[in-house]
Structure 1
Amino acid sequence: MHTSFPKLPMFENRLVKVFRHLRKTARRQNITCYRVYDDDIPEFPFSIEVYEQCVYMAEYQRRHHMEEEEHDAWLEACIEVVANVLETPPENIFLKQRQRKQNRQAQYEKLSFERHEMVVQEAGLKFKVNLSDYLDTGLFLDHRITRGMVRDEAAGKQVLNLFCYTGSFSVYAAAGGASGVTSVDLSKTYLAWAEENMRLNGFDMQPHHFVHADVLQYLDTLAPATFDLVIVDPPTFSNSKRMKDFLDIQRDHVSLLNKVLQATKPGGVVYFSNNYRRFTLEAGQLNASSIKDITGQTMPFDFQQKMVRKCYRIEK
């Protein structure tokens, strides 16, 4: 243990405690990708996730009052702790540094050119993750339960996945027997990744479509009552150069969701989620027959007390 960093044992003790508990639960539920730690101790501002035999570790940017060399030594000491506690060789630990406040666009910029891609399993399905090049790995672990709900409801349905990112909801919908899944995203990179995830699972690609478009403009092109099941998981803010309008989810969610509901068949279901901490749903302004806040029931064991996102099940 590095004596030059006296608070390191505090980090180690926390990690030992949470990992022991979470690993048991993960094994019991047959889950191989899960979050272990998220900013639990302010002096150790990391998010740490297990992806099968690898560990993904992101450092949130904070003022740490260390010189660069000292900070590097501190990081190395932290990685050593993580390697020991999580029983993972250091070369299987991938470290990223991220800003605390940012739009989703910045979050998705490519960070480096070393590539570490691997295929992981979740609920018997395969997903490509990238632990080295982007700030996010390609699989949002907090939506594991929500994805299961989509799979349970998808049989025989036309499914629309908006802001589809790498298509994990699309894969679950196809696995649930959807008659067709349309995945829409503004990023060609993520759309290609979504298609790759679908192919990895051996689905017949014929009924599935991948649409490169600005979601808001795309919704205007849809005939009313086209889809039975819709997933909407937008960024909190987006001002991508390719987007016609600047998206602010608090300000724009009513018009966005009413457009979605217009494209949804009567009795159809919309799963809507977002990460804005102070988000409030203007339920009274939505053209819906029922709205349920399912944030609590979609919160996986490894995100309890740590999760800021909201999730709703909206019926037309």
Structure 2
Amino acid sequence: MQYTDKLPMFENRLVKVFRHLKKTARRQNITCYRVYDRDLPEFLFSIEVYEDHVFVAEYDHRHGMEEAEHEQWLEACIGIISKVMEVEDEKIYVRQRKRKANRQSQYEKRDEEKYEFNVQEDGLTFKVNLSDYLDSGLFLDHRIARHMVRMDAKDKKVLNLFCYTGSFSVYAAAGDAAMVTSVDLSKTYLQWAEDNMKLNNLYDPAKHQFEHADVLQYLDTLKLNTYDLVVLDPPTFSNSKRMKDFLDIQRDHVDILNKVLLATKKGGTIIFSNNYRKFELDTPNINATSIQDITKQTIPFDFEGKIIRKCYKIIK
């Protein structure tokens, strides 16, 4: 019963962080943000606000509770979240993240509730789904990086690899990019990316293309010196049956980056990010003129001290 006994501790922690982050979010006019991320070892949740909804992901851990006891404990936790954050239970969505789920599996559909709605970020509109997948469709930790892409995109040819639901593509298009090409292996997410473009009245097939492809193979089809700005946010590991090869970002990043650099114009920029905790960039073997670690500059207020991803600005 140790987990049940510590429910007041969870409530106190949530009260403290929510009060602080809510004020900061309001001051910055941000309506989607992370509140809690495994702050206490007994309560391994990430809790995110999506306007008037809350998205809770419970991480797999050895809690030692029987199934019925765990369900009762989880209901008590949801009750605390509802009370502290002043959100009705029916607007709180809970997902469970299993150990070692690779990015492909986390993108696969889990349910058929299809509870979708639109949210605002930086004056743009994005569709999120809190019921059917392990992730909402909008990675909140990239908020600042997306803004950077928007500010740098004017009149540029932009390539977004592993584009997921196309949020970086929308930002680039909103920044008046001359062209945006979005590439992903999932038809579902490419359609979602198109939907996000349409929500912002940016959909223009003459300028912005959506390519259904295995990125590792697609890299070999790229023309030399084509793109001014590339967004590269690959999974740490992927072994989808639809991929010709499996991806290991630590092993493969040099080869991938050098192929992308060949397709990038001289002086062009690659924003490269990944979530591997132990990732080490093999700088000497990357054919770039400049590599800058911009991880700290791209961490939003709600992810300070919690971020595990790395982010680099690479200039050809």
TM-score (norm 1): 0.98
Deviation, 1:216, is: 1.4
Name the counterpart of 1:8. 7
Deviation, 1:101, is: 2.3
**In structure 2, how many angstroms separate the alpha carbons of the residues matched to 1:170 and 1:286?**
25
Tell me, yes or no, if the aligned pair for 2:194 and 2:203 is still in contact at 8 Å: no
**In structure 2, how many angstroms separate the alpha carbons of the residues matched to 1:16 and 1:98?**
24
What SS is found at the alignment partner of 2:4? coil
Name the counterpart of 2:132. 133
Please report the RMSD computed on the Cα atoms of aligned residues, expressed in angstroms: 1.2
**In structure 2, how many angstroms separate the alpha carbons of the residues matched to 1:100 and 1:256?**
27
Letter of the structure 2 residue corresponding to residue 178 of structure 1 = A
Residues 3 and 310 of structure 1: is their aligned pair in 2 closer, same or farther, counting only changes over 3 Å? closer
1:1-316 equivalence runs, <5 A: 5-205=4-204, 206-316=206-316
**In structure 1, how many angstroms separate the alpha carbons of the residues matched to 2:97 and 2:203?**
38
What SS is found at the alignment partner of 1:244? coil
Where in structure 2 are there 5+ consecutive unaligned residues? none
**In structure 2, how many angstroms separate the alpha carbons of the residues matched to 1:89 and 1:54?**
9
**In structure 1, how many angstroms separate the alpha carbons of the residues matched to 2:207 and 2:3?**
59
What SS is found at the alignment partner of 1:40? coil
Residues 72 and 100 of structure 1: is their aligned pair in 2 closer, same or farther, counting only changes over 3 Å? same
Where in structure 1 are there 5+ consecutive unaligned residues? none
What SS is found at the alignment partner of 1:25? helix
**In structure 2, how many angstroms separate the alpha carbons of the residues matched to 1:6 and 1:66?**
13
Deviation, 1:100, is: 3.3
What SS is found at the alignment partner of 2:94? strand
For residues 22-43 of structure 1, the C-alpha deviation after alignment (integer angstroms, 9 at most, x for no partner) is 0000000000000000110010
Letter of the structure 2 residue corresponding to residue 89 of structure 1 = E
For residues 144-169 of structure 1, the C-alpha deviation after alignment (integer angstroms, 9 at most, x for no partner) is 00000000000000000000000000
**In structure 2, how many angstroms separate the alpha carbons of the residues matched to 1:118 and 1:313?**
33
**In structure 2, how many angstroms separate the alpha carbons of the residues matched to 1:100 and 1:200?**
35
**In structure 1, how many angstroms separate the alpha carbons of the residues matched to 2:185 and 2:104?**
10
**In structure 2, how many angstroms separate the alpha carbons of the residues matched to 1:241 and 1:188?**
14
TM-score (norm 2): 0.98
**In structure 1, how many angstroms separate the alpha carbons of the residues matched to 2:262 and 2:297?**
27
**In structure 2, how many angstroms separate the alpha carbons of the residues matched to 1:313 and 1:136?**
26
Paired positions, count: 315
Tell me, yes or no, if the aligned pair for 2:230 and 2:269 is still in contact at 8 Å: yes
What SS is found at the alignment partner of 1:5? helix
Letter of the structure 1 residue corresponding to residue 146 of structure 2 = R
Residues 102 and 4 of structure 1: is their aligned pair in 2 closer, same or farther, counting only changes over 3 Å? closer
**In structure 2, how many angstroms separate the alpha carbons of the residues matched to 1:155 and 1:12?**
46
Deviation, 1:3, is: 11
What SS is found at the alignment partner of 1:279? coil
Letter of the structure 2 residue corresponding to residue 281 of structure 1 = L
What SS is found at the alignment partner of 1:308? coil
**In structure 2, how many angstroms separate the alpha carbons of the residues matched to 1:186 and 1:11?**
39
For residues 167-217 of structure 1, the C-alpha deviation after alignment (integer angstroms, 9 at most, x for no partner) is 000000000000110000000000110011001100141200000001111
Letter of the structure 1 residue corresponding to residue 189 of structure 2 = Y
**Once structures 1 and 2 are overlaid, which stretch shifts more, 265-274 or 63-72?**
63-72
What SS is found at the alignment partner of 1:302? helix
**In structure 2, how many angstroms separate the alpha carbons of the residues matched to 1:100 and 1:301?**
27
Deviation, 1:4, is: 8.8
**In structure 2, how many angstroms separate the alpha carbons of the residues matched to 1:69 and 1:204?**
48
Identity of aligned residues (%): 70
**In structure 1, how many angstroms separate the alpha carbons of the residues matched to 2:109 and 2:165?**
15
Deviation, 1:109, is: 1.5
Tell me, yes or no, if the aligned pair for 2:11 and 2:80 is still in contact at 8 Å: yes
Letter of the structure 2 residue corresponding to residue 244 of structure 1 = K
**In structure 2, how many angstroms separate the alpha carbons of the residues matched to 1:188 and 1:302?**
31
